[in-house]
Amino acid sequence: MFETKIIEATDDGMAEARDAAVSLLQAGEVVALPTETVYGLAADAFNPEAVAKVFAAKERPTFDPLIVHIATLGDLERVAIVPDDIRETVNKLANEFWPGPLTIILPKTPEVPDLVTGGLPTVGVRQSAHPIFRAINKTLGNPIAAPSANRFGRISPTSASAVMKELGGRIPLIVDAGACNEGIESTIIRIEPREGKKPIFHVHRAGPITKEKLQPFGKIEKVKPGDKLQSPGQLESHYAPLTPFRLIEKPEDFTPEPGKRYGLLSYKGEDGGEFVRSHEWEVVVALSPGNGKQAEAAVRLFYAMREMDEMGLDEIIAEPMSEVGLGVAINDRLRRASTPR
């Protein structure tokens, strides 16, 4: 067990937070770091012993691969082999979306340990836009493997306090830079070249880089559930609160059991909404209260799920969002959080 320390990465404390994190990473330890998406549990991606500590702290199965973060575009060749037939596309995507929440699956270099990729010949790579993460990544001098800083299958953390609830006593340090800007994990794609046509982007995980943003660069195809696990976020059960959780597609599909206390996770939470009217809820928590803004809903999603998980409800019911823009990514997280029945 560790005594988990929290260092605030304020303007005055940025150098202290960076140096403390880098020192631990160089020593083969793991550190919780903020990214623009969610907080990640970081390790030196080239140190398999350190990466093993990530899996141990999270209780994560080793067949579930990790994303590797690079400090600069020039570091890409250290972790991935970019095939000639997609090099132009990778460069276009990197110029448009990096640093940012887009992960690209590419063939891995021999330097990347098999433990990082779950034994797969490919690796998911991205460049974080968060300033403290980038500073630590650059100072460390090696790529960073960093899945979300929570126990496996649980709600992803978007604040240092959420990380402490999940991993306090399991890791030595949390770098606190406040709430994450995006609130949901990065979009993950695999590129399939097509001669004379735009490439196909197989979307392994929906995220902040929406299909609408990707469409100018290629044709979008969603990965089928039965496809081989090639990236994080592909397991059917994920992001789950301890309280039973269920996504209901239509209000009429919900039949409450007598005596049970139900909470509704709503998009807008308006009194006139069909879901809100369908039952006398114990509590209604809105992702974008009254506004219906997808960006706000994405930022609040995991915070709201964690808040409801601590209310002592018998079950949390979630209403879906429209399958456009960030609604695709939010619905994906809600479906994966749903408790099998």
Residues 171, 272, single domain; the answer is: no
The Cα–Cα gap between 90 and 242 comes to 39
Q: Are 4 and 168 in contact (CB under 8 A)?
A: yes
* Residue at 307 is within a domain: yes
Residues 122, 22, single domain; the answer is: yes
Domain count for the chain, please give it: 2
Residues 153, 280, single domain; the answer is: no
Give the residue from 176, 205, 224 where a domain finishes.
176
Residues 252, 167, single domain; the answer is: no
pLDDT of residue 222: 83
Q: Are 182 and 173 in contact (CB under 8 A)?
A: no
* Residue at 121 is within a domain: yes
pLDDT of residue 12: 83
Helices (H), the chain: 14-26, 48-58, 76-79, 84-97, 114-117, 131-140, 160-167, 211-214, 274-277, 294-309, 327-337
Mean pLDDT, the chain cut into blocks of 10 residues (341 residues total): 92 92 98 98 98 96 94 97 98 98 98 95 97 98 97 94 97 97 96 94 96 97 67 65 95 95 93 86 93 92 96 97 95 88 56
Residues 172, 250, single domain; the answer is: no
Residues 172, 249, single domain; the answer is: no
Longest dimension (CA), the chain: 62
The Cα–Cα gap between 186 and 133 comes to 15
DSSP string covering 232-293:
TT-SSS-SB-SS-EEE-SSGGG--PPTT--EEEEESS--TTSHHHHTS--SEEEESSTTT--
Q: Are 79 and 68 in contact (CB under 8 A)?
A: yes
Length of the chain measured in residues: 341
The Cα–Cα gap between 89 and 80 comes to 15
Tell me what percent of the chain is helix, strand and coil, each rounded to the nearest 5. Answer: 30, 20, 50
The Cα–Cα gap between 196 and 173 comes to 50
Indicate which CATH number applies to the domain containing 27.
3.90.870.10
Helices 294-309, 327-337: inter-axial angle, 10-degree rounding? 20
Residue in 130, 136, 137 with CA at minimum distance from that of residue 158: 130
Residue whose token pair is 């929440």: 101
Domain extent for 31 = 5-176
Indicate which CATH number applies to the domain containing 249.
3.40.50.11030
pLDDT of residue 263: 98
pLDDT of residue 230: 61
Residue in 166, 115, 211 with CA at minimum distance from that of residue 305: 166
pLDDT of residue 237: 59
Give the residue from 140, 157, 176 where a domain finishes.
176
Q: In this structure, how many other beta carbons lie within 10 angstroms of the beta carbon of residue 8?
A: 15
Say which residues have a Cβ less than 8 Å from residue 301's Cβ, sequence separation at least 6.
183, 184, 287, 330, 333
Burial class (CB in 10 A: 0-12, 13-18, 19+), 339: middle
Give the residue from 176, 210, 235 where a domain finishes.
176
* Residue at 194 is within a domain: no
* Residue at 54 is within a domain: yes
Residues 152, 269, single domain; the answer is: no
Q: What's the pTM? A: 0.92
pLDDT of residue 292: 83
Residues 10, 121, single domain; the answer is: yes
Q: Which two tokens stand for residue 226?
A: 């039965």
* Residue at 61 is within a domain: yes
* Residue at 168 is within a domain: yes
